[in-house]
Structure formats: C-alpha cells, structure tokens
Structure 1
C-alpha cells in the first residue's frame, strides 16, 4: 500500500467479527469473558490489551513502516516507557532544543534515578560522537525540533548509533509519518505525541511508539502493561479516526505553513522566521532529503526581542487561538517562554533561541487568506 491507502486501511484488513463493522468499534470494557482459565479470544483485561487499542497500534505501525506499535495515555507516557528500558548509570544524549515536557521528565524525574542526560545541539555528527561513552544507551532526537524547528539528520545519526551499538529514538510529532518516517532512515524507535497531528482535532490525549526489533518490542510491551500508562478505548478510537485523514490534513497544513512562513519573512516587524521549507533555514537540504514537505509548524521572533510585543501579538489574534498544544485542524499560537517551555530555566531557554519574543504557530487548515489577514492585523 502507498501512504494514503495505509492511513485508511493499514493494519485494518480484519473486519470486526461480531457484526462486520467497517470502523473499529469502541470496546469500552475493562475485562473479557473466558471459557476456562486462559481460554479466551485474545484479550483478558484491557490494561494488557483491548481490541480498539490493538487496531490503533496496528495502524500506527503500518504508517511508520514498522512491525510493532504501542499506544499510550499521552506522549509523555510513551517517552516514560522508553526511558524505563534504561538502568541507573546509563547515559542519554538528547537534543538540547526539545519539548519542555520531555526536558522536565528527563531532567527532574529520571535524573534522580541515576540516569545521566547530555543536552546538546545535534547539527554536528562529531559533537554527538564526542559525547558517547561506554555507558551511553540512547540518543534522543526531535526533528523538526520544538520550537526552533531545527532539523536533525536522522540517517547520519543512525550510522553513529549503530557504530556504537546505541539505540536511536526520534520524536516524530511535528513531521508525522506523512512527511517523514524515521525507521526508514535507520532509527530504532519512533515516538509521537498522538495528541497532536495523529489525532488532529484537539480532542484527545495520547501517545505512540513504533519499533521493528522484536526483542525491544517485547520489552516495551512488558513496560506498557506493567506500568499501565495505556491508551483507553475511546481515546484509541479518536486517534484511529484521526489517522484516516492524516494525509489530507498534513498536505493542507504544509501548504498553509509555507504561505505563513513566506508572509512573515517579508514582514517589517518580524526579525527571524523558523520553518524548514525556507531555503535559508539551517539544514534545509537535510529537510528536503528526509521530508516529503515541511509541515505547518512555524516559529518567529518580532524585532527588538520585546516580551511586551510578543504578548501583545498573541492577545490580538482572532482566527489563531492562543492555546497550548498543536497539530489540530484549527490554527493556534503560543508563547514558548511562558507556556510550553516555561519548565526550562530562562538561561537555558535563551541558549537554544527560546527568547522572550519567540512565538510558535501551529498553522491549521483554514483558508490561508484568513490566516494571513489575521497575522497582518495582529502584527499591525
């Protein structure tokens, strides 16, 4: 199957055996009957497995060209499961420009469990390799990164990871499998906050992991069941429904993202624009190599690096909505320094470019003319 067909049918060839339902039903049940102890139809207890969640897990594996999919209660629950494969004394090399919730989990929770994290820029392969020691077990990458839209060369990092027998995990939330499939470039783990583009309608919290390696999958399935941070049946249904229109939405997100980025780049009140599709964007050539298009996430700074001007902008928007999160059909705007990345100390934020004037846009699928008009009036 090609991608658009996979989004609708991938992993979903089995029609519901009860009544032939075309869509995967919501099995809103905690437990399943057994004829005799251990004799059942594949499901015993919904933490361990649920037909609706299983349908979602097959779907996410299919669109990422992976063998094994796992669905979680949130993106952070998925990341938590990955880090639980490590032990005290292990080391992780992580992107320094990453989602604030991931940074918080790494730097305030798992640091206290004896896991050491190195937060570095991942533009130089030599820099990445210089941090690898005998204790390094995982490289954690986002691409494009949140919120600076930096692009990481997945294939190049995967070669380093394999050379040193280190796992490479890629947070693919911003790009989605429609634009980029990290497993195809050598990554071992691909993770999503399915809350965002996979769900696509700002009505569900969920997370996902896809892997190819059978042993790693077995370990993650065990952690998923043992820790219990699973996606419920209703949430699984909503994400599964969202995936069926992912290709259509991502195409429009990318079209509108381009229009917004080019408009902002030519606006007299805008200092910097961060969108991988711009020719002067750092690692634009890498983005062209590993991405089908460049998505709907755009960040920019206003001239003068004024906190006051940035807040004035987000207060004045009308079609865009000031809100946390991203990836829904509606356009959102956020102020990372005071919202999504507030958990990162100011000094650390500013080192990676998250200054007080930075604004992050999640460009939706509305008419682009209305979005540009809204930016014009809010900047004016």
Structure 2
C-alpha cells in the first residue's frame, strides 16, 4: 500500500509524466510504471519472492521504517504498481490490494470497527457479505443495522453515536438497483460517519464513488477489472491515513490476505483494456435488456440505463454507462427460469460476473441446493424465486440475443 509522501516519491521516480490531463485509458496502461526502472521491460515484472535481502543493517532499518517492506505478505513491487494505478483511476490517495473481494470486505470491517461499534448497511448485499454481517460480525460484538438506503433519509434514524461506517453497493448485486452515492454520503458525513461503496458492478471506468462523496471504494478485482475469469483479487481505495490503517492492521495481522504477485500482473493486464471492455459490455447489455423488456415471456427487467428503471436518473448522474449486469424475471417463475437456463446453447450457466464470457445463473436454485448442507442459507432481501442474473460478455450481441430468444421460446 502506497500513499502520501511515498506515493509522491514513486510518482517522481517513474519515467512517465502522469499529469491529471492524461486520460483514463492512458493512466490505466502507464500509471506508476516506467520500463526504464525495470531493465526496460515494457510489462511490469512479477516478483516471486517471500522476503527481501538488504545490503546493510542500515538499509534493512530504512525498509522497516517505511512500514512492511521486509516481507512479502505486506509488500511486493508488482502489487504496489497495481495499488498505485487503481488509486489513481479512482481518484483516491492510496490503495490496498488483497486476495479476494471478500478479503477486502473483511479487511475493511475488522480494521475499522471494534466490539460495541455499529455498521449501517443497505438491506440488499452480495450473498457472502450477507453471511458476514449476519453471522460473522455479531460474534465479535459488532452490531449491523440493515437499512433501505434507496431513501437516504432513513439514515437519519439509523445512525447513532456508535455508528462507525455506512456500507452499500451500487449498482446492487443482483438486482442492479441504484443508490444515490452523493445523497447518502452527505447525510452520513453530517453525522461524522464514513461511507464505503462497493463499486464492483461498475468499475472505475464507469463510476468513481469518491467523486460523489464516498470515502472508501471496494472492488472485487476478480470481476470487471481483471475481466478474464482467471484470477481472484480485491481492492480498497481511499484516503492515505485510512489505507495505512487497513494495511497495518487488516493485512499485516488480522486477515493476512495477500494478493499473489502473478494475480496482480493478470489484473493489471486486464486493467489496460477495461474501458474498451466496459463499452462493449454496456452496449450489449442495453440491447439485451430492451429485447427482454419487449418479450412476452418476461415479466420484468432491471437494468440501470433502461428508461423504465426507477433509478435511471441517479444512474446517469453517477455512471457514464450502465455496465454489463442485468436482472430479469419470467412469468413462468421458478420452474420457468430453470427450464430456460437448461435450453441455453451459448451462454454459460455459472456464478461470478464481469468475464469476457456471458455468465447466467438463477439464485433461487443455488440457494435451495445449498440448504441441504447450509441450513441457514436464504435468499437476500428483494430477490425472488424468479430472478435471473445475467452478466453480459463480449460475444456478438446478436448471438446472445438469439440464444436467449430460442431458450425463451421453450416456455
């Protein structure tokens, strides 16, 4: 994790000038790396080492004084480049990358909250985050307060003197509903409470929550930022002081959830084409959403840039495009969803999202299957038996539409 003066030093050492006037794509490709500093290698090297050697005791001391530059759990040159690049793209002072998106959430919460503190969350969250807030955090004496943040005024009664953080996703998984980052942040800040936003569904190519008042941004790097379905990762981005705390407590001794340097390399490779991919994901998803909305077998569609979406105005205010995620339901309900998915010929039936491949799944089916081994498994708030989540990939959109149409025709 790099921030503050150390971040500035790394900026000056780079062979490229990274002025604010440089565009998003230029910074996604070049920021925080110069071939001159790495024996002229155009791609960042992958530093596969568990520890570091020093030419003298004094040099060893100097590395220790920088914090965590003695051992690979806390520092790696490859992951440092990724941290600086992501922070720059999000408009943050500093960044921290970890092994998964859930590791990012655990690092955030367990570093900033203690026994007796309260966490306000939106009523609908990613299913494993729900498990953490319902089962994990109460064990440590942290009270979780679920709130419908689609009405930001609900914060007025939810926040108490014990509240330390407000946390939500937007767009929300899996409903693709939209929350107003600016309105929520304004109310939370008026009570002296920080705001953290999971922006995984949008990526920094489409949405930068810090620009709208958020304090911390979380990403599952596994998804759009990597974009190729071949590695896991998570990131936290925000002010240098908070990120230093997350590094020195969360990563160093609470979670120890280090991102592998080869994973950092793969994620940086994906980052270089992020905005190009998000353009295609978004254009195809909008075309598919419009087709589904007009189909007689479909009862509802939720996509942020559809004219019928209740959060469309807010989405267009804080996002440049609608991303590749949409949700829809069928008149035939649970059984119809299972039938339709079984008749797909091109789309892949799989969890996860943000890949080049189109991925589709039926949460209710997964939940019922899990209940045989996890008695506490349940559908998250707002998700019905009919909901189908679709992560639109980079295939030809006409092929994707054709696959959906032939599967829907079987109902």
Q: TM-score, normalised by structure 1?
A: 0.95
Q: By how many angstroms is 1:228 displaced?
A: 1.1
Partner residue of 2:406? 377
Describe the shift of the 1:128–1:347 C-alpha distance in structure 2 as closer, same or farther (beyond 3 A): farther
Aligned residue-pair number: 375
| 2:398 paired with 1:366 | no
Among 202, 217, 221, which residue is 1:194 paired with? 221
Partner secondary structure for residue 262 of structure 1: helix
Residues 195 and 202 of structure 1 are in contact (CA less than 8 Å); yes or no, is this contact kept in structure 2?
yes
Among 171, 175, 183, which residue is 2:198 paired with? 171
Among 272, 277, 287, which residue is 1:259 paired with? 287
Q: By how many angstroms is 1:347 displaced?
A: 6.9
Q: State how 1:270-349 maps to structure 2 within 5 Å.
A: 270-304=298-332, 306-339=333-366, 349=380
Among 375, 383, 388, which residue is 1:354 paired with? 383
Q: State how 1:51-66 maps to structure 2 within 5 Å.
A: 51-66=77-92
Question: Which string of whole-angstrom CA distances, capped at 9 and with x for unpartnered residues, describes residues 190-211 of structure 1?
Answer: 0000000011000001000100
Describe the shift of the 1:346–1:301 C-alpha distance in structure 2 as closer, same or farther (beyond 3 A): farther
Partner secondary structure for residue 236 of structure 2: strand
Q: By how many angstroms is 1:215 displaced?
A: 2.0
Residues 100 and 340 of structure 1 are in contact (CA less than 8 Å); yes or no, is this contact kept in structure 2?
no
RMSD: 1.7
Describe the shift of the 1:355–1:16 C-alpha distance in structure 2 as closer, same or farther (beyond 3 A): farther
| Cα distance in 1, alignment partners of residues 164 and 358 from structure 2 | 38
Partner residue of 1:134? 161
Partner secondary structure for residue 140 of structure 1: strand
Partner residue of 1:82? 108
Among 114, 119, 122, which residue is 1:95 paired with? 122
Query: What runs of 5+ residues in structure 2 fail to find an aligned partner?
Result: 1-21, 64-68
Residues 16 and 24 of structure 1 are in contact (CA less than 8 Å); yes or no, is this contact kept in structure 2?
no
Partner residue of 1:150? 177
Partner secondary structure for residue 312 of structure 1: helix
Residues 165 and 195 of structure 2 are in contact (CA less than 8 Å); yes or no, is this contact kept in structure 1?
yes
Describe the shift of the 1:364–1:340 C-alpha distance in structure 2 as closer, same or farther (beyond 3 A): farther
Among 252, 255, 267, which residue is 1:239 paired with? 267
Q: By how many angstroms is 1:337 displaced?
A: 2.2
Residues 51 and 72 of structure 2 are in contact (CA less than 8 Å); yes or no, is this contact kept in structure 1?
yes
| 2:141 paired with 1:114 | yes
Partner residue of 1:37? 57
Q: By how many angstroms is 1:317 displaced?
A: 1.3
Question: Which string of whole-angstrom CA distances, capped at 9 and with x for unpartnered residues, describes residues 141-172 of structure 1?
Answer: 10000011110100111111110111100000
| Cα distance in 2, alignment partners of residues 345 and 261 from structure 1 | 33
| 2:48 paired with 1:28 | yes
Q: By how many angstroms is 1:225 displaced?
A: 1.9
Partner residue of 1:4? 25
Describe the shift of the 1:16–1:130 C-alpha distance in structure 2 as closer, same or farther (beyond 3 A): farther
Query: What runs of 5+ residues in structure 1 fail to find an aligned partner?
Result: none
Residues 324 and 340 of structure 1 are in contact (CA less than 8 Å); yes or no, is this contact kept in structure 2?
no
Residues 334 and 364 of structure 2 are in contact (CA less than 8 Å); yes or no, is this contact kept in structure 1?
no
Partner residue of 1:47? 73
Residues 7 and 247 of structure 1 are in contact (CA less than 8 Å); yes or no, is this contact kept in structure 2?
no
Residues 104 and 344 of structure 1 are in contact (CA less than 8 Å); yes or no, is this contact kept in structure 2?
no
Question: Which string of whole-angstrom CA distances, capped at 9 and with x for unpartnered residues, describes residues 49-75 of structure 1?
Answer: 000110111111111011101100000
| Cα distance in 2, alignment partners of residues 16 and 149 from structure 1 | 43
Partner secondary structure for residue 128 of structure 2: helix
| Cα distance in 1, alignment partners of residues 404 and 38 from structure 2 | 51
